[in-house]
Structure 1
């Protein structure tokens, strides 16, 4: 486990204070609509290919995704890498060999990314193990964890005119601050990569830990931000704030329902996008309740739109749910199957992003792997 300096922990617990929500927080002009309906390839499209690897992003491009969605961790030696989990899970990666015969950290599987160097991570095979819930995944034995810069470089090779959009998440767990770098250092290291990339203006920055959104907006107000939320991260004990929401208490907002208050809270941190889960995770929906049994509701979408935010739910892998939420005029969909959702969007007459030449993508993949 990474042990943060006491002063850093103290700063994180004291630096993200908010005034009470006001109408000024809640009202904002409507933002312009995207050129294409936003089909986001979740982790590159993990339903189709090994997640979060260069092959997964290659197939996201081939499948015509508008946006590549991915997650960042930071290694012990301070490198921003593309991986979803805080630790290396045995169901996703396998050890090959240590970087030195007497490396005390070997085996690396099971260790936190924050406790491993980039060189140690690069020994892992993260392309051979097909996930049990995704039986159609293409495997790419030997595929490695990439740095964020390596992913940018690969996609730029396939997309020289820089048309691709990005949705990049910080993997910070608000409940366990010692498992990753602190919020400020995490955000700063990501931002350093963003500003050196030709894709800077195409990046949306998202997080469940809303402190990261506040920190990124403070660092660079021009970066589009997205507030991730589900029933777990929105939950709080009576009279307290969820640790995920940067000190905000949903009960302090004037909305008549939790769904409305979630949208208002996201607006209070100046998020440009609200990105709720479509499903419940820890709270089973009440079958006797009126309306949708999904976490995302029409009421939530309507309030977010009224406040000038877009709404892009995750992770939507069923077309019946796509049918439902599109009636509520959501602005995009994050999915493990971008090829399926893109095909559905074309059927509905929605404008979809053009696909990139497959041969060029494969040539770039060969070069960068």
Structure 2
């Protein structure tokens, strides 16, 4: 009976999609289409720096997407990786004479103080996979508060939206701060900011989403998922999904089960990898997409929005748009904003370069002391 019910529902969903194209659905809203600048727009600028967020504002991103780590002295910093990678940062000097931890490149964020991290130059190395990145030699890893302060200078009316990720790894709990530390420390900064109600909280580690909802039921949460966090080779429960196993959900497809799992933790958004495939040890199909139209339909039925990451190719973005996705996380926000405008969507305003870079210079003067 359950299978028959799903078959009937699928036919109804196809009819509704054909009767109401995605273009009409989104064009009827009064909000800008959600073009998210991934790490500020790492295709254009060295990532997760104040300079990258400056260009995200100039490019007219709707949302600034960024990552948080926590230092050994409890400071919330904006950085993607659990450790300082040599391909992104350069040591300049020890934080104090004869520091036994120096050099800092290669060390974990959780094992470094803010003072040690602030000595790193993370603006002088261009990623080989992003050959158009602008370099900003001497750029430092910022704190979350510093990024908020800079953006508020540019955006005093607080129009910009935020998508902020906790970079925690349940498979290696000793490499990062704990779930409680992330949620408590991030939320303390969120709640003190005028952007408090403009923040979405996202994570691959769904434990943090559950804990954040318990602390602040009003904050929107986004469940990140990809092929590495959804599945395990032995079909055991993935440590990333907050104790859930996808096979415990009744949907006929894996995409539908992912949507149901995200709803089960009260997430508001499902954020799947838009270019990933389901591993061969899970399915015999040849390179089946992780993000499917069935997933998007199921998510919408359950009241979830869908915002895939990290989408840079317009051909795949066109396909996901036909599925009805509610936003795009991209390394090239300027290009995707132009695409969204071509589709007839409202788009967020571009912030004037003069104001952005005036605020950037003021910020850098404060940081330099």
Q: What TM-score do the two structures reach when normalised by structure 1?
A: 0.88
Q: Which residue of 2 aligns with 1:6?
A: none
Q: Which residue of 2 aligns with 1:235?
A: 231
Pair 1:149 & 2:145 matched: yes
The answer to whether the 8 A contact 2:46-2:126 is kept is yes
The answer to whether the 8 A contact 1:232-1:281 is kept is no
Q: Any residues of structure 2 matched to 1:191-210 within 5 Å, and which?
A: 191-210=187-206
Pair 1:366 & 2:361 matched: yes
Pair 1:244 & 2:260 matched: no
**Cα pair distance change 1:34/1:332, threshold 3 Å:** farther
Pair 1:45 & 2:41 matched: yes
Secondary structure of 1:146 counterpart: coil
Aligned with residue 222 of structure 1, among 215, 218, 224: 218
The answer to whether the 8 A contact 1:40-1:66 is kept is yes
- Quote the offset at 1:287 in angstroms: 12
**C-alpha separation between the residues in 2 aligned to 1:33 and 1:246?**
33
RMSD over aligned CA atoms reads 1.8
Q: Alignment length, in residue pairs?
A: 337
* Structure 1 alignment gaps of length 5 or more: 1-31
* Structure 2 alignment gaps of length 5 or more: 1-27, 365-369
Q: Which residue of 2 aligns with 1:327?
A: 322
**Cα pair distance change 1:34/1:40, threshold 3 Å:** farther
**Cα pair distance change 1:34/1:53, threshold 3 Å:** farther
Q: What TM-score do the two structures reach when normalised by structure 2?
A: 0.88
**C-alpha separation between the residues in 1 aligned to 2:51 and 2:245?**
41
**C-alpha separation between the residues in 1 aligned to 2:50 and 2:281?**
37
Cα deviation digits, residues 135-169 of structure 1 (max 9, x gap) = 00000000000000000000000000000000000
Aligned with residue 294 of structure 2, among 291, 294, 299: 299
**Cα pair distance change 1:241/1:284, threshold 3 Å:** closer
After the TM superposition, which segments of 4 or more aligned residues of structure 1 sit over 3 Å from their partners? 284-290
**Cα pair distance change 1:286/1:219, threshold 3 Å:** closer
The answer to whether the 8 A contact 1:286-1:293 is kept is no
Greater helix fraction, Structure 1 or Structure 2: 2
The answer to whether the 8 A contact 1:285-1:293 is kept is no
Pair 1:36 & 2:12 matched: no
Aligned with residue 310 of structure 2, among 315, 329, 336: 315
Secondary structure of 2:165 counterpart: strand
Pair 1:176 & 2:172 matched: yes
Secondary structure of 1:161 counterpart: coil
Moved more, 309-318 or 347-356: 347-356
**Cα pair distance change 1:33/1:217, threshold 3 Å:** farther
